[in-house]
């Protein structure tokens, strides 16, 4: 049994863990990171990056198919396209593999030692790792738990055979003819829309009264319209009951209590993610929990001295950029810097068609906090750049305090608005007032002008609407 010691041990090399280890290494902290799978975790290997690659391929395919159908208005005529999903997936795997090497290289450059294998706590300062060459014992002054999350499995639809999670959906060799998506959250709709664009007949089964229920109805309206255009059937208030014994079908109890069959050769279950809190010896270290998650304070400290936790294992929102910021912060704390969580907003993006962005407070949350608010909403139908990109559906909305015009929240829906999330996040972090956004020169023609116009609108003098 080999034994090593270090100042910082990070368990899990997802966006939380690897950023923590890199930053610690940069600061001269003697750091070891343990990873069971490939560097980059869920996000890089089976989450953010591969899903966006597939979404991009689907978008390109659908655009060409649309033109080939004689429906394009751009004067472009093309032959009907074909799609070889094996090649698409190979292209996506190539991107993932390049990024895997990138992360491994960055860890090495920062002087971080990587141990491959499954880590298990022996006690609060000691971890055992089952590696290919035997058990390795690692003793550390500080341990960071960054074990991430996994897909939730429904007891009535266990994964296997036609029932798949997002991980398998990203590695299919052919486009399902009929795809049932159980769960209309962001992962289900991103992937469901992508497969619909690739030619699958998609049905979304959602137990709540609407899909993307965490967003306000006005924000999701353009997405619902697009789902309709893509021929995606959305069953809300409906419960998936299990597989039909005969024929490829999902059994569903509809909102009015009737039994229905949804024909499907694949059933993608996207009913949420659960923190990975099992299998690594949580019982050995007696941490306080906050429901399913590890309880942390504003420095990501757990209830046990010398143990921090970051990323999906610590709670919502389960997003890569939250995990990264936590990782960076913890590394600096371990290196002796004074840091604590001081972020005003964690922007969230739903990469559906069109895309959705939220940053800061929703109009309702802002009203609850501030009492009176000013809201400015600017439609992309009045934005020249959006018109030239055939992306007129959608809007930007800015919510600010009525008394001092401090911006509290920003939402947008529209083609490509994910790239506006940076400006939204910056405005909130800098404590921008409506006048700051309105008074910033926004280059023309860009969709960003919609952001400026929304602020102007809240001030009562939008120029282009």
For position 51 contacting ligand FAD by CB under 6 A, the verdict is yes
> Which ranges constitute the DSSP H helices of 230-270?
none
Which of the ranges 143-151, 152-160, 221-229, 239-247 carries the binding residues for ligand FAD, by CB under 6 A? Answer: 143-151
Stretch that binds ligand FAD, among 6-14, 204-212, 293-301, 357-365 (CB under 6 A): 6-14
36 binds ligand FAD (CB under 6 A): yes
Q: Distance between CA atoms of 96 and 101, rounded to whole angstroms?
A: 9
- Looking at beta carbons only, is 280 or 451 nearer to ligand FAD? 280
Q: Is 33 in the site for ligand FAD (CB under 6 A)?
A: no
Q: Is 114 in the site for ligand FAD (CB under 6 A)?
A: no
- Return the closest-CA partner of residue 120 out of 98, 145, 141: 145
- How far is residue 173's CA from residue 257's CA, in Å, rounded to a whole number? 36
Write the interaction track for ligand FAD spanning residues 298-337; mark x where CB under 6 A is met and - where it is not.
Answer: -------------xx-----xxxx-x--------------
Closer residue to ligand FAD in complex, CB, 43/462: 43
- The only residue of 10, 21, 32, 47 in contact with ligand FAD, by rule CB under 6 A: 47
Of the candidates 412, 419, 418, 421, the one whose C-alpha atom is nearest the C-alpha of residue 453 is 412
Nearer to ligand FAD by Cβ, of 147 and 411: the residue is 147
CB atoms within 10 A of CB 75: 6
* C-beta neighbour count of 369 within 10 angstroms: 12
Query: Is residue 41 annotated as involved in ligand binding?
Result: no
Query: Looking at beta carbons only, is 13 or 22 nearer to ligand FAD?
Result: 13
Burial class (CB in 10 A: 0-12, 13-18, 19+), 56: middle
Residues in contact with ligand FAD, shown as a per-residue x/- string from 330 to 369 under the rule CB under 6 A: ---------------------x------------------
Q: Of 116, 308, 442, 444, which is the active-site residue?
A: 444
Quick check: helix, strand or coil at residue 376?
strand
Instruction: Based on the residue annotation, tell me whether 444 is a catalytic residue of this protein.
Output: yes
β-strands 273-275, 395-401 pairing: unpaired
- Classify 459 as helix, strand or coil: helix
Q: Is 105 annotated as a binding residue?
A: no
Give strand pairing partners of 243: 250
Name the DSSP class of 382: G
Q: Is 56 helix (H, G, I), strand (E, B) or coil?
A: helix
Site for ligand FAD in 178-217 (CB under 6 A): 187
Q: Which residues of this protein are in contact with ligand FAD, per CB under 6 A? A: 11-17, 34-37, 41-43, 47-48, 51, 118-119, 146-149, 166, 187, 276, 280, 311-312, 318-321, 323, 351
Q: Which residues are catalytic?
A: 444
């Amino acid at each position: 049994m080999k034994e090593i010691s270090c100042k910082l041990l990070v368990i899990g090399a997802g966006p939380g863990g690897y950023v923590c280890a890199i930053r610690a290494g940069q600061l001269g902290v003697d750091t070891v990171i343990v990873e069971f799978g490939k560097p980059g975790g869920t996000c890089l290997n089976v989450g953010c990056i591969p899903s966006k690659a597939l979404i991009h391929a689907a978008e390109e395919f659908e655009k060409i198919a649309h033109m080939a159908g004689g429906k394009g208005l751009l004067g472009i005529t093309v032959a009907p396209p074909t799609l070889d999903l094996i090649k698409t997936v190979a292209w996506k795997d190539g991107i993932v593999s390049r990024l895997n090497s990138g992360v491994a290289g960055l860890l090495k450059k920062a002087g971080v030692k990587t141990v491959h294998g499954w880590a298990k706590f022996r006690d609060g300062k000691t971890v055992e790792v089952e590696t290919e060459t035997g058990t390795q014992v690692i003793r550390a002054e500080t341990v960071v738990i960054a074990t991430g999350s996994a897909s939730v499995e429904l007891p009535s639809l266990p994964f296997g055979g036609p029932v798949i999670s997002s991980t398998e959906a990203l590695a299919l060799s052919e486009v399902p003819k009929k795809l049932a998506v159980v769960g209309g959250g962001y992962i289900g709709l991103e992937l469901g829309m992508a497969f619909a664009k690739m030619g699958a007949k998609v049905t979304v089964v959602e137990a709540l009264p609407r899909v993307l229920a965490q967003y306000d109805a006005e924000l999701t309206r353009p997405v619902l319209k697009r789902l309709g255009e893509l021929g995606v059937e959305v069953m809300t208030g409906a419960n998936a009951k299990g597989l039909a014994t005969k024929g490829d079908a999902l059994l569903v109890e509809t909102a009015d209590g009737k039994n229905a069959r949804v024909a499907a050769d694949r059933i993608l279950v996207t009913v949420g993610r659960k923190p990975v809190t099992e299998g690594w010896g949580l019982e050995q270290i007696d941490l306080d929990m906050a429901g399913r998650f590890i309880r942390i304070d504003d420095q990501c400290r757990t209830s046990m001295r010398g143990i921090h936790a970051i990323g999906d294992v610590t709670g919502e929102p389960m997003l890569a950029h939250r995990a990264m910021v936590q990782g960076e912060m913890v590394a600096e704390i371990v290196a002796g810097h004074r840091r604590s969580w001081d972020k005003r907003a964690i922007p969230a993006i739903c990469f559906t068609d069109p895309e959705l962005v939220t940053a800061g407070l929703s109009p309702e949350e802002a009203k609850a906090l501030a009492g009176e608010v000013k809201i400015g909403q600017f439609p992309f139908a009045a934005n020249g750049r959006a018109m030239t990109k055939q992306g007129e559906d959608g809007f930007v909305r800015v919510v600010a305090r009525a008394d001092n015009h401090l911006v509290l929240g920003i939402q947008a829906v529209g083609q490509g608005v994910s790239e506006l999330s940076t400006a939204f996040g910056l405005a909130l972090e800098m404590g921008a007032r409506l006048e700051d956004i309105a008074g910033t020169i926004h280059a023309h023609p860009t969709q960003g002008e919609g952001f400026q116009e929304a602020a102007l609108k809240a001030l009562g003098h939008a120029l282009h609407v």
